[in-house]
Amino acid sequence: MSMEQRVQSWIRPEIQALSAYHVPDASELVKLDAMENPYTWPQDLRREWLKRLSHVDVNRYPDPRAKDLAGELRLAMQVPGEMAVLLGNGSDEIIQMLALAVSGQGRSILSVEPGFVMYSMIATWCGMDYHGVPLRGEDFSLDMPALRLAIGKHQPALIFLACPNNPTGNLFADEEIVEVLEMAPGLVVVDEAYAPFTDHSFMSRLGRFDNLLVMRTVSKLGLAGLRLGMLAGPQAWLDEIDKVRMPYNINVLTQETARFALEHHQVLDEQTRAIRRDRQKMFESLQGMQGITAYPSQANFILARTAPGRAQALFEHLLNNGVLVKKLHGSHPLLEDCLRFTVGRPEENRQLLELLEGFGHG
């Protein structure tokens, strides 16, 4: 048997059918594709951070539960006192832990589309079915009749609702999320990855619904390189999910750096306020452009639709002029002719807008 035949024989067919998650090379480019905070730390803060890290020993395993960091995240993210928290190596690992904990014959994950691609990918990795319910095309709101039908038909073990939603940037109506919670047979996870850029949150409602969990990340806050996520919810649920967590999953450098960053949260808060202000400026500029339809956003990016058939050309125009954005055209029928622009530093936003103005959208 050849190696190729052996691979095909042993690797699950559904894994062979997947494409690996692609991250484009952004070297020497203005990077506006990945919803990152574009700001680094001031030099004096960076020196203080490196001094702090110089006292960290890496020859020992880290605190397996990252107790000190978990406590500081509870305060920073206003987790209700009676709720438990669980940390992950990014929110991706938390999604995987959730799927592993509830997976089984006939079990499924349900979410809305277009949405975060990792929900469906992780479902496949964990041997679960995935059901995506399309959003309403006009404003990307929840299609409640379709959701009711899908939940009743598939009885999902896990429902993920990202709020604000990626890649559309909008919030879902509170009363509709509550309706999903009330009709769901299993867990409902409200993914609040973009919480720093909106005043809306379900965190304070934890405990009111026995199947509600809230997921957060520090990535959009300005710490994407740390890979740190948090799940909050009732102790009974998190005790079980914790059993599939890899030991020592939050390394010592991440634990110390995240604690340091939270102690200097005012720097991150100011950066977040700047991004929110610049998001509004970018949205207003895009609204005034012929051939571009910009959608209101409560995240740190803006979804925009070009004139029919122009998204690929506009993407290449930006790329050829040193600006990388996310091309969503072709990824989902509701994202036809769409690009997504991360809000960057003011000079990066100006460069993007000037290139958009100079492009023929006709």
Distance of alpha carbon 86 from the chain centroid: 17
Confidence (pLDDT) at 16: 86
Q: Report the chain's terminal Cα–Cα distance, integer Å.
A: 56
Confidence (pLDDT) at 362: 55
Confidence (pLDDT) at 34: 92
DSSP annotation of 295 reads P
- Spatial separation of the C-alpha atoms in residues 133 and 142, rounded to whole Å: 9
Within the chain, which residues score under 70 in pLDDT?
Answer: 20-23, 26, 360-362
User: Mind listing the pLDDT tens digit for each residue in 42-53?
Assistant: 999 999 999 999
> CA 348 → CA 25, 149, 326, distances in Å?
18, 44, 15
Confidence (pLDDT) at 360: 66
User: Mind listing the pLDDT tens digit for each residue in 242-251?
Assistant: 999 999 999 9
Structural domains of the chain sorted by starting position, each given as residue range(s) with its CATH number in brackets: 3-42+266-357 (3.90.1150.10), 56-263 (3.40.640.10)
Contact in structure between 204 and 305 (CB atoms under 8 Å): no
Confidence (pLDDT) at 23: 67
Distance of alpha carbon 299 from the chain centroid: 10
Question: What's the sign of the alpha-carbon dihedral 275, 165, 298, 342?
Answer: positive
- Spatial separation of the C-alpha atoms in residues 119 and 92, rounded to whole Å: 9
